[in-house]
Structures are given as C-alpha cells and as structure tokens.
Amino acid sequence: MAIVVQKFGGTSVSSAERIKNVAARITSTKAAGNDVVVIVSAMGDTTDDLITLLKQVTDNPDPREYDMLLSTGEQVSAALLTMAIHGLGYKAVSLTGWQAGVHTEDIPSKARITHIKLDRIQKEIGEGKIVIVTGFQGIDIHGDITTIGRGGSDTSAVVIAAALKADVCEIFTDVDGVYTADPRIVKDARKLKTVSYDEMLELASLGAQVLHPRSVECAKNYGLVIHLRSSMSDVEGTLIKEDKMEKKDVVSGVALDTNIAKVGILKIPDKPGIAAKLFKALGDENINVDMIIQSIHSSGAHADMAFTVNKMEMKKAVDVTNNVARELGAEGVVSDGNVAKISIVGVGMISKPGVAGTMFEALGKNGINIEMISTSEIKISCVIKAEQGKKAMEILHKEFDLGK
C-alpha cells in the first residue's frame, strides 16, 4: 500500500463548496488503495482577515502571539475538510501541528521544522483513517505554537512526506504544472513531465513562483518526489525529482520576471570596501538585492555599480543609495523601474558551453539590448527593457526549441 501525501493551498479550500471538492479528490486517492495524509492551508482570505484584526489591536505584534493567532486558520480548514470527508463515508481525523508531532525551533513566525514524531499520524493511519494535518505550524520545546514562515504549508507537506517515506508528495495548486515558459505569453509553451530540484529552485526564485524554494530544497535533501498538479483537474502535472544523468535538455525553461527595478551608482572613487558599504546599508533597511554588477572605469580611479531590487522597493533603495553615494563622493544615482529579467534555466547547460553566447546572440539579432547579465551553473539571466520582455521570452523559447 502506497503512502500519498497531498497538500492543498488556501485557494483550493476557500469555500465550503471547494472543501467538498477537495474531500472528493482525497477520498478517491484513498479508494484507489493508498494511505493518505493531507496537509492543508488556511481558507482563502482567513490569514489576511486575522492580520487585519491584529493591526487594529497593535502595530507591533509579539511573534509568539502572532503565531498563536494565525495558526487558528489552518485548524479551521482542517476540521472542516475532515468533516466533509466524513460526509463521503470515509474515516478521517484532523491534527494540529503539535498533535501531528511537528517539532520546530523556538523562533516564532519563522521556525524551521527540526523533527517529526510520527506516533500519532501512524496510529491514525493504522486505524484506516485519512489524516488531515494543519500546514504552516508546529510546536517548540516550550510547548508553544510556532509558524514556519513563508512557503510554510508546502514545506510542512514535504517534511511530513519525507518523514513518512511517502511514495509521492502531491502539491495541488492553481496551475497544472511547470511549463517551458509562461503559457499566457508563449503559445507553444509545453508542460514539463519532470524537472530537477535544482531547475525548480531556479525557476521558483524567478517568475514561476508555484512552489516555495524552501520546500524544493527540502525535497531535494530527502530525495522526495513532488508531483505539482492542478486542484481543478485530474491531468498529470509535473514531477520534481532527481536528474538521471543520461538525459538532459540543455535548457528546460524560460522565465520572465517583470517585478524588478534597476538602480545604478555612478563614478564612485574606487577604494576597498565601497561595495560592502552600499550593500550593508541596503541590508540594514531589509532591501533584498538580486543581481549586482560592478565595473571599473577606464581611468581605473572610479567604479560604477548597478543592482536590481523588487520594484516595490525601488524608492527606498534609491534613498539609501543616495545617502551612500554622498558619503563615498560618487557622481550620482540613476534608477529604472521599466526593466525585466529574462532567464533560461537548465541542468544541461553545466556541461554544454556556448549556451550563454546563443542566448545573447538571439536577443541581439532581434534588437533586444542587454543591460545586465548574471549567471549560475544552471541559469543565465539578462536585464532588458520591460516592454521587450514577452518578445524575449518567445525568441528564447523558439531558439532553444522548447515547444518540441
């Protein structure tokens, strides 16, 4: 008998009707002869509603109490889902994080899961029950409820699946898999049957945020197969699993991120520590910097520096950069919110030189100017004008023959 772990996000359980649909899908998996453990998020807007309420009470919430408050969301959806399953004539039981034995660090609101005590889950499975576990939460050594931060429920699902040595962890979402490019932009974008953990990590950190990087990392560590699929249909989604060495497309997908802005600081008198000064100042303001480029002027006495940030943080980043520029005696600060990042991702490019050249050439001959470049072993990203983003995606999808 296989063990299947299924995870349903907030949209999948946003109403009584949807909860019943999810219940039907779960029981069909059980009826097919599997042991089923389900991880569920809070219903639709519940978490936002709780935060609205919170903000009326305090501007500065205590993290422990914040977790106490927010963890109720999953408890509500888990209980309702369990009762919907009962209504279909199946045995089921809901468990909170602490009941399910999900132990975490004692760092409220961003605890990591340290270990899972499986006793209770296994007892319930042994009694033939479908087990519904609240995602996003656990318990620390003090007996306090913790939440595990961003990507929480996906991570809960992966960790519990790994502990149970589940055959597969099915993550249900509102897309039906990972595509070679955004199908809303590229007509012949193709759904990938499988994608490697590393590719998924790069894609997740780019535009294609269907799965939180943290959960992918975790699945990679345990060699757990994730099946990313649609909660609305029965079609097969995409399997995220370890590469087999023999295969490999050079490029697996193209991703576009339009939510970035570029900031530049010009003609900084060059001396040691200027980069540290700038990026420490940005870090102090909690501004997340993505790409960084430093270039030396021909004279050798000055450097230019450019970086990208989330578009929402551009203004704040410019303010911080202006302060640093003044201090360092730089000539000035420029910024541009009208840019996008186009990336190609593929494990195959590790052993295949010339991929970058092919990418740059394809863009160049189509009149797309590259403003910044950054590379990793399995990804190449270029910053270009925002209005050329979709065109660039189509060009690269075709260039690397991804629609085949």
Q: What distances in angstroms separate CA 203 from CA 66, 110, 208, one per listed residue?
A: 31, 23, 6
Minimal distance, residue 25 CB to a second copy, in Å:
15
List strands edge to edge, sheet with 289-296: 289-296, 302-310, 253-269, 332-345, 379-385, 372-376
Exposed / middle / buried, residue 172 (Cβ in 10 Å: 0-12, 13-18, 19+): buried
Is residue 180 within 8 A of residue 189, CB to CB? The reply is yes
51 part of the interface to a second copy, by CB under 8 A: no
Q: Which is nearer to a second copy, 76 or 275 (CB)?
A: 76
Q: How far apart are CA 342 and CA 82, in angstroms?
A: 43
Stretch that binds a second copy, among 13-21, 187-195, 308-316, 324-332 (CB under 8 A): 13-21
72 part of the interface to a second copy, by CB under 8 A: yes
122 part of the interface to a second copy, by CB under 8 A: no
Burial 107-142 (b: 16+ CB within 10 A, else e): ebeebebeebeeebbeebbeeebbbbbbbbbbbbee
Q: Which of 3, 20, 334, 362 binds a second copy (CB under 8 A)?
A: 20
Q: Which is nearer to a second copy, 76 or 185 (CB)?
A: 76
Is residue 77 within 8 A of residue 19, CB to CB? The reply is yes
Lookup: tokens for 50: 């709780």
Q: Which of 6, 71, 137, 155 binds a second copy (CB under 8 A)?
A: 71
Q: Which of residues 275-314 bind a second copy (CB under 8 A)?
A: none
Q: What are phi and psi of 181, to 5 degrees?
A: -165, 170
Lookup: tokens for 217: 């990392």
Strands 3-8, 35-40: pairing is parallel
Q: Which is nearer to a second copy, 83 or 370 (CB)?
A: 83
Q: Which is nearer to a second copy, 59 or 246 (CB)?
A: 59
**Residue that is written with structure tokens 């055959």 in the block:** 167
Stretch that binds a second copy, among 141-149, 159-167, 209-217, 316-324 (CB under 8 A): 141-149
16 part of the interface to a second copy, by CB under 8 A: yes
Stretch that binds a second copy, among 72-80, 190-198, 213-221, 240-248 (CB under 8 A): 72-80
128 part of the interface to a second copy, by CB under 8 A: no
**Angular region, 89: left φ>0, alpha ψ -120 to 50, beta rest:** left
118 part of the interface to a second copy, by CB under 8 A: no
Minimal distance, residue 164 CB to a second copy, in Å:
19
**Angular region, 177: left φ>0, alpha ψ -120 to 50, beta rest:** left
Q: Which is nearer to a second copy, 82 or 343 (CB)?
A: 82
Q: Which of residues 73-92 bind a second copy (CB under 8 A)?
A: 75-76, 78-80, 82-84, 86-87
Q: What distances in angstroms separate CA 365 from CA 181, 253, 370, one per listed residue?
A: 21, 21, 12
Q: Which is nearer to a second copy, 65 or 336 (CB)?
A: 65
Lookup: tokens for 355: 């991929």
Q: Which of 33, 60, 244, 353 binds a second copy (CB under 8 A)?
A: 60
Q: Which is nearer to a second copy, 110 or 316 (CB)?
A: 110
66 part of the interface to a second copy, by CB under 8 A: yes
Q: Which is nearer to a second copy, 144 or 217 (CB)?
A: 144
Minimal distance, residue 21 CB to a second copy, in Å:
12
Stretch that binds a second copy, among 55-63, 207-215, 279-287, 356-364 (CB under 8 A): 55-63
Q: How far apart are CA 4 and CA 35, in angstroms?
A: 6
Q: How far apart are CA 191 and CA 174, in angstroms?
A: 14
Q: Which of 12, 47, 94, 231 binds a second copy (CB under 8 A)?
A: 94
Specify the 3-state DSSP secondary structure of 82: helix
Which among 154, 179, 172 is positioned nearest to 11, based on CA atoms?
Answer: 172
63 part of the interface to a second copy, by CB under 8 A: no
Q: Which of 3, 21, 51, 65 binds a second copy (CB under 8 A)?
A: 65
Which residues of this chain interact with a second copy, rule CB under 8 A?
A: 15-17, 19-20, 50, 53-54, 56-58, 60-62, 64-66, 68-69, 71-72, 75-76, 78-80, 82-84, 86-87, 93-94, 96, 99, 120, 143-145
